[in-house]
A and B are shown apart, each in its own frame.
Chain A
Amino acid sequence: MRHVRTWLIVIIAIVVILLLAAGWRSGIFSRPINSPYPAGASATNTLFTAFTQRSPKYLDPASSYSSDETPYTYNIYQPPYGYHYLKRPYELVPRAAAEVVAPVYLDADGNVLPSDAPGEMVAESIYDIPIKKGIMFQPHPAFARDENGDYIYHDLSPEDLKGIRSIPDFKHTGTRELTAHDYVYQIRRLASPRIVSPIYAQMSNYIVGLQEYGNFLRELDARLREEGRAHEWLDLRQYPFEGAQAIDDHTLRIRIKGKYPQFKYWLAMTFFAPMPWEAERFYSQPGMAERNLSLNVWPVGTGPYMMVENLPNRRMVLQRNPYFNSETYPCEGSPGDEAAGLLADCGRPLPFIDRAVFSIEKESVPLQGKFLQGYYDVPQIERGDYGVAFRVAAEDSPEKAALYAERGLQLPATVEQTIWYLGFNWLDPVVGKGDTPEQAERNRKLRQALSIAVDWEQYVAIFEANQAQVAYGPIPPGVAGHVEGIEGINPVVYDVVDGRPRRKSLEEARRLMVEAGYPDGRDAQTGEPLVLHFDAMGGATGARPQFDWMQRQFAKLGIQLEIRSTDYNRFQDKMRSGVAQIFMWGWVADYPDAENFLFLLYGPNSKAAVDGENAANYVNEEFDELFRQMRDLEDGPQKNAIIARMIRIVQEDAPWMFGYFPASGGAYQQWVGNARPSEMVRNTLPYLKIDTGLRERKIHEWNQPVWWPLGLILLLVLLLVWPAIRLIRQRERAVALDEEHS
């Protein structure tokens, strides 16, 4: 029996060895086996990328306002305008619109005013936007009609939806041409109480009749709720609204109260994307929401892509919209673009990529690992910090630099329209405005002293790895009003030495402290140490090194800085109630206009008073008056002059320490063409292209499996098991006494 078992083991071992040898010869063992995609996926014209944390919450264009939603919304929807893909500073270009129009200004009597009319004369601005003809919606069941022309899926019951869990499950689809009416319908939706658009409050200040329309809808909705008809579809077309109209099928008219030049930028956002009434009607039917069939999961647009798969918190797939043909690759760009090959696809119809697959990656280790293995073409399309992280890693480690060079990673850099600043609460008696002119002057000197003492160059070096630009004012580079070089420095905080800015000395800061009434950080009258409070949002354990650093900066002037760190909800509560003393916050621009930064310091925008974005609750009459003048002006020398004066005011008053503008950038594989990172241009996907052959080869080259350690482990296990088996057999054959001692 034992011989049979031994022979059986030998035969099995020989068969296994022969199979392994055959496999080796055929090359099976040299094929990548660590791919997270099905076989052959990397040979297709598909972009592979990731999203982190969770699926986008809102894909309904009336609700979507988060950056993680933009890779989908801006590639599925087509607002009237967009930004030029290559030109910097950013330039508006038409997307679904035939052109970027200038508004017509009317006075209170309806007379047309010149384009440079002052804001106080303008009663209304009229935007008549021509829409391109022939733009078609993506194929969608909401448009499907039978031979009689009736909608197939507009009268469904929950039973009809059995077995249907996604839009591709519907058998029939249809399409139709985009019209101006679809834009009007979307603008109406901003006021709907059932959608909760974050910009409704803002736009109701500007769009004629939107506030009244919204009030009417709220009353109507409340009445329907009381009658138990809360889930009935509200056909918004039925109710009068004068702020947006379709003059004809291809002309959209929007009426704006007064003069608001920045409105054109809102037309580049998906809040103003078209929404077909059929889609809303379709999704409002009973049973749809329970099956995750809604605009937040399955958007309907005219853009270059459409959603074909949406597995929440797992995977989303965008596919080329077969009817899209209204945008082409640009033929102009910024200096250097042509030499970089970014104009090679001039005039070609977009998009170049057929599909984009977005997979969930909750942790950075697998995300970066798969990117370096070639399984992601871009780590995350909408995030600029990956490029920064890779550049920093390459600077810190020659091995990583060599690896990235060998992999041919493209790591272009840019500076985005974002600022991080440290604010002083104007309502605070110690660091704020002050109750009397004398107190106001002392507080100002205190703020200026602190602005000098806190070394933002050091902060950027330590915590941002030099991937940021220290700010001298509130306007970032690339926005009209920002001044580069020596002319743009903050003269309160810096001197010019040998043609370069140098932070003023601590002696200067201490002198200011004496004038503020706090020599060596102590109250000159009471002798008490000055204790200030920094209200942070990091929670109990977050950002500890930054807090320690901040305390040391304040300690240079003998000031004690207490940290009051809470979670983000509590931090926001403190800011809204105006009880924070000193805080740090950031702002990402909605659009590339100085108004979108200066309004953060505009008095009537006080966070404590009206829950606005002026988190410091800063008030300065001259600044506010200049703001009202500036916001009505088109870009030009007059506007720049006003902006310069406003910046000078806030530099003197120092309601903020201006912090820094973080650097941004992208990380792309060598086979991704036309890569140009931007956080303002959100519809970048159609411009990218993939060299699939190169990708296949590189993935194969970089992911050869290493098998020998498995063999080594097996050998080690056998070396452990074999003596154990022998020992077991010896024990079982052992007798109590051997023959000699029996």
Chain B
Amino acid sequence: MIAYIVRRLLYGVLILIGVNIFTFLLFFAVNTPDDMARLAIGGRRVSADAIEQWKIQHGYDKPLFLNAEAEGTRKFTDTIFYERSVPLLKLDFGLSDAGRDISYEISQRIGPSLALAIPTFVLGLWASITFSLLLVYFRATWLDFWGVVVCVVMLSISALFYIIAGQYLFSKLLRLAPYSGFSEGLDMIRFLALPVLVALLAKLGPEARFYRTLFLEEAGKDYVRTARAKGLPERIVLFRHVFRNALLPILTSTVAVIPLLFMGSLIAESFFGIPGLGSYTIDAINAQDFSIVRAMVFLGSVLYIIGLLLTDISYTLADPRVRLE
């Protein structure tokens, strides 16, 4: 297993290099340093000199990949790609184009992102699994039928609707939760209650329906019939036998997501004013701040690689028959 993990990590490094190059190419295919300068300086009275000076001060006056005017290795090192993207491989995010420390800002924003994402994830998982197990328990009854109908309706509705409806109902009409905002300490609970509830409802439909399918498939197997024949109560059959064996596909979809919890939720953070990494990324895209964009893409890739690796490892824990070769 150790050899497998090491091999996967090495593959991951190659993937990260590729992601780095691809992000760089994509970004500069649609944005030129002149565009970035104009946006950074502002739209009015921007002179050619101001653009040039901005590029010089921020290191964007160099060629993208190859500096034909330099000599030796400086042909490659005296370029925007080398100075901006290569340091990422040693996790040096540097400063944003606005001059702010990216690593520090990430460290400040991870907390609020996790404060929203972890309860959403844990409660969402618990609610979806419980609800789907209940549907399985009452399969082929009116409870199951209407439960599935509710799931289909819920998954058909956009998450944006839940946000707007949630704010309308709980913030405007009932005045039980603030519209938006964030605070530190225990006070954050009243700011997170509504976004967590909204996220939970948005995920419940699709996840419960998916888990129900998994559990039903397990519930039809011979060992389950044997357990029932032995006289075990149905809840023991479901929670102790069916649930555990249906865990593998659940792990596939959930463990890979865990590292991405750090990246935050774009929409929820915008609507609820939560200063997390999701809004940090979208702000950088709008401001064409390449330094932040490439840092967040890189970070997301690292976390995704870790997530997939954790998924593989968790298989061996959930199913002793699985070996990583």
Contacts and interface: CB of A to CB of B under 8 A. Distances in A.
Interface in A688-712: 703-707, 709-710
Nearest to A363: B271
Interface stretch (A97-105, A365-373, A405-413): A365-373
Contacts of B47: 198, 200-202, 611
Interface stretch (A147-155, A549-557, A726-734): A726-734
Contacts of B70: none
Contacts of A65: 41-42, 44-45
A311 interface: yes
B283 A366 contact: no
A569 B179 contact: no
A704 B39 CA distance: 45
B273 interface: yes
Nearest to A369: B179
Given A196-B41, A728-B137, A704 B53 contact: no
B40 A314 contact: no
A370 B38 contact: no
B287 A198 contact: no
Nearest to A611: B48
Contacts of A632: none
A281 to B, nearest CB: 17
Interface in A330-377: 359-363, 365-366, 369-370, 373, 375
A389 B116 CA distance: 33
B163 to A, nearest CB: 9
Contacts of B56: 193, 225
Nearest to A65: B42
A266 B246 CA distance: 71
Interface stretch (A30-38, A111-119, A242-250, A390-398): A30-38
B50 A294 contact: no
B273 A359 contact: yes
Contacts of A363: 180, 270-271
Given A36-B178, A57-B40, A732-B234, A312 B105 contact: yes
Given A360-B273, A360-B275, A365 B101 contact: no
B45 A613 contact: yes
Given A362-B270, A611-B47, A289 B95 contact: yes
Categorize the interface residue count of chain B. 35 or more
Given A165-B104, A292-B100, A201 B45 contact: yes
Main secondary structure of the interface of B (DSSP, over half): helix
Contact of B271 (A313, A366, A569): A366
Given A33-B176, A363-B270, A57 B49 contact: no
Interface stretch (B120-128, B166-174, B218-226): B166-174
A34 B177 contact: yes
**Which size bracket describes the interface of A in this complex?**
35 or more
A66 interface: yes
Contact of A35 (B42, B178, B270): B178
A198 B179 contact: no
Interface in A181-208: 193-194, 196-202
B118 interface: no
A38 B138 CA distance: 47
Contact of B171 (A199, A292, A297, A369): A369
A628 interface: no
B186 to A, nearest CB: 12
A314 B270 CA distance: 11
A244 B108 CA distance: 43
Contacts of A365: 164, 167, 179, 271
B75 interface: no
B99 A289 contact: yes
A193 B283 contact: no
B102 to A, nearest CB: 10
B49 A312 contact: no
B279 A706 contact: no
B174 A706 contact: yes
B44 A366 contact: no
A54 interface: yes
A156 interface: no
Nearest to A706: B174
A724 interface: yes
A53 B273 CA distance: 10
Contact of A369 (B99, B167, B190): B167
B162 interface: no
A36 B174 contact: no
Contact of B275 (A38, A66, A314, A375): A314
B35 A569 contact: yes
Given A65-B42, A365-B167, A706 B173 contact: yes
A572 interface: yes
13 contacts: A38-B183, A54-B287, A65-B45, A197-B50, A198-B44, A199-B45, A290-B101, A296-B99, A313-B275, A366-B179, A369-B171, A370-B180, A611-B47
Interface of A: 32-36, 38, 53-54, 57-58, 63, 65-66, 165, 193-194, 196-202, 218, 225, 289-292, 294, 296-297, 311-314, 359-363, 365-366, 369-370, 373, 375, 569, 572, 611, 613, 703-707, 709-710, 724, 727-728, 731-732
For the complex of A and B, the 9 pairs showing the least CB-CB separation, nearest first, are A201-B47, A36-B181, A366-B179, A366-B180, A314-B275, A706-B174, A36-B178, A362-B270, A290-B101
